[in-house]
Amino acid sequence: MQENDINFTGKVVWITGASSGIGEALAVLLAEKKAKLILTARREAQLETLAARLDTNVIVLAADLYDADLSALTGYALTAFGNIDIVIHAAGVGQRSLAVETPLEVYRQLMEINFFVPVAITGYLLPVCKAHMVVIGSMSGLMGFPGRTGYAASKHALKGYFETLQVEQDVPVTIVSPGRVQTGLSLSAITASGKAHGVMDEAQLKGIPVSACATRILDGVAKRKKHVIIARKEKYLYWLHWWWPALYHKIAKKYSFTVGK
Helix (H, G, I), strand (E, B) or coil at 34: coil
Reference 12, options 52, 61, 70; nearest CA is: 61
d(CA 110, CA 248): 25
> 3-state DSSP helix/strand/coil percent for the chain, to nearest 5?
50, 15, 35
Active-site hit among 107, 124, 151, 161? 151
d(CA 70, CA 53): 27
Reference 133, options 249, 238, 220; nearest CA is: 220
d(CA 81, CA 54): 17
Judge whether 151 counts as a catalytic residue: yes
d(CA 218, CA 168): 24
Q: Cβ(8)–Cβ(218) under 8 Å? A: yes
Reference 174, options 112, 231, 125, 219; nearest CA is: 219
Q: What are phi and psi of 122, to 5 degrees?
A: -60, -40
Reference 135, options 152, 102, 158, 116; nearest CA is: 158
Helix (H, G, I), strand (E, B) or coil at 216: helix
d(CA 217, CA 151): 21
Catalytically active residues are 151
